[in-house]
Amino acid sequence: MSSVLSISVQKQEGTFTLDAEFEASAGVTGIIGPSGAGKSMLLSTIAGLANPDNGSIRLDRHALFDTAQNINLSPEHRELGMVFQNARLFPHMTVKSNLTFSRRQSRAALSTVEEIVDLLDIGSLLSRRPHHLSGGEKQRVAIGRALLSSPAALLMDEPLASLDLARRREIMPFLERLRHRFDLPILYVSHNLDETLRLADSVIVMDQGDILARGGVEQTLSRIDVQSLVLGGATTNDHPEPVTIVAATIGKRSDDGLFSIETPWGTLTAPNITGRYGDQVRLRIRARDLVLSTTEPTGLSIRNVIAGEVGIMTEAGSAQVDVLVRPSHDSNAQPVWARITKRAATELDLQPGHPIWALLKAVVLTSDIELEALR
């Protein structure tokens, strides 16, 4: 049975205040926000590397920290694995010695050394010392060391931040394997939206020490205020172009080469999709790639049509407006953002509650929307 981390902490450091309360169960909880939001401070308090001023940190029913009960376990007694931005390997030890250094005898091992080595593809590195490793190799060893410490939960503080794009692409598949192989809470801190989209099962958004939003990845990261915070533009009159994120499943390939994609909006079609039948994916749809119609479209080449009604409308600069389209067939279905000109919105007389059809070209799903398989 997987552990549950329960966090309720407050910490003052100078003029900065951290105030966070949430629970994390099995799977990856992405913690995202701009620099200085308090993400790393939060992980440090959970790990025992910094002390909160007030609150509690619990692993299942066991208190790791509790001001009311005067409990404050040292980091080595918290049964938590930690992976930092920099691997922090012991330079005088071989990879094999680094891997086994922190093994706990008090807890059952998550896995064997052999399986971890195979999972992270580091068998050829065991006799080397850290200065002979690339950045990506060092991080894989650091992850293996954390897993071999038999943790009840894993804390990862921007583990890819110090790596270049090639090394990040190299290590990402190994991180994807972890979330499916091990039934434990993983807190994954990042300021990178792509990483969070690819890895997280749920997400917490932080800003200035507080939790701004939390919940499912698609719903939370599709919010304009969250995207403005993470992508920039929150302190100006403009905001970034909205991106709608939605979970989907790759369907069958038809004789004419088009793939079906099952979404909360119904079946969409797209050519040349990378993936296999039944793969779970996340679609990222730019607001500019949608066309709006106030009448049901006919006689068009566009295959993908989402029927709905106009939701909120938000100004996007002096000449544009972002329109939220709420699917009409299911009030719980994920809404989708469209960006159009103010002139178009005026001429179409768009008003909240009016019927609307959102049109998305099939070829856009190939060229401009990244499908990230959740293998």
Contact, 2 vs 25, CB < 8 A? yes
- The domain in which residue 158 lies consists of 5-231
Q: Quick one: pLDDT band at residue 238, thresholds 50, 70, 90?
A: low
Q: How does pLDDT run across 27-83, given as a tens digit for each residue?
A: 999 999 999 999 999 999 999 999 999 999 999 989 999 999 999 999 989 999 999
Q: Are residues 250 and 350 in the same domain?
A: yes
Residue 350 counted as domain residue: yes
Q: Are residues 217 and 333 in the same domain?
A: no
Query: Percent of the chain, pLDDT > 90?
Result: 58
Q: Are residues 148 and 221 in the same domain?
A: yes
Give helix 165-181 / helix 113-120 axis angle, nearest 10°: 140
Specify the CATH number for the domain of residue 301.
2.40.50.100
Q: What is the DSSP letter of 346?
A: H
Q: Are residues 213 and 359 in the same domain?
A: no
Count the residues in the chain. Answer: 375
Residue 292 counted as domain residue: yes
Last residue of a domain, one of 231, 263, 298: 231
Per the DSSP assignment, residues forming a β-bridge with 307 are 357
Q: Which helix (H) or strand (E) holds 207?
A: strand 202-207
Q: Provide the number of structural domains found in the chain.
A: 2
Q: Are residues 86 and 133 in the same domain?
A: yes
Q: Are residues 354 and 327 in the same domain?
A: yes
Residue 294 counted as domain residue: yes
Q: How does pLDDT run across 328-348, given as a tens digit for each residue?
A: 878 788 899 999 999 999 999
Alpha-carbon span 304 to 164, nearest angstrom: 37
pTM: 0.83
Q: Quick one: pLDDT band at residue 107, thresholds 50, 70, 90?
A: low
Helix (H, G, I), strand (E, B) or coil at 124: helix
Helix (H, G, I), strand (E, B) or coil at 300: coil
Residue 238 counted as domain residue: no
Number of neighbouring beta carbons within 10 Å of residue 85: 16
Q: Are residues 210 and 283 in the same domain?
A: no
Specify the CATH number for the domain of residue 63.
3.40.50.300
Which pair of structure tokens corresponds to residue 160?
A: 């890819």
Q: Are residues 40 and 156 in the same domain?
A: yes
> What is the biggest distance separating any 2 CA atoms in the chain, rounded to whole angstroms?
71
Last residue of a domain, one of 210, 231, 252: 231
Start-to-end CA distance of the chain, whole Å, equals 22
Last residue of a domain, one of 180, 198, 231: 231
Q: Are residues 54 and 113 in the same domain?
A: yes
Residue 327 counted as domain residue: yes
Which pair of structure tokens corresponds to residue 50?
A: 């910094």
Q: Are residues 282 and 223 in the same domain?
A: no
Q: Are residues 212 and 89 in the same domain?
A: yes
Helix (H, G, I), strand (E, B) or coil at 37: coil
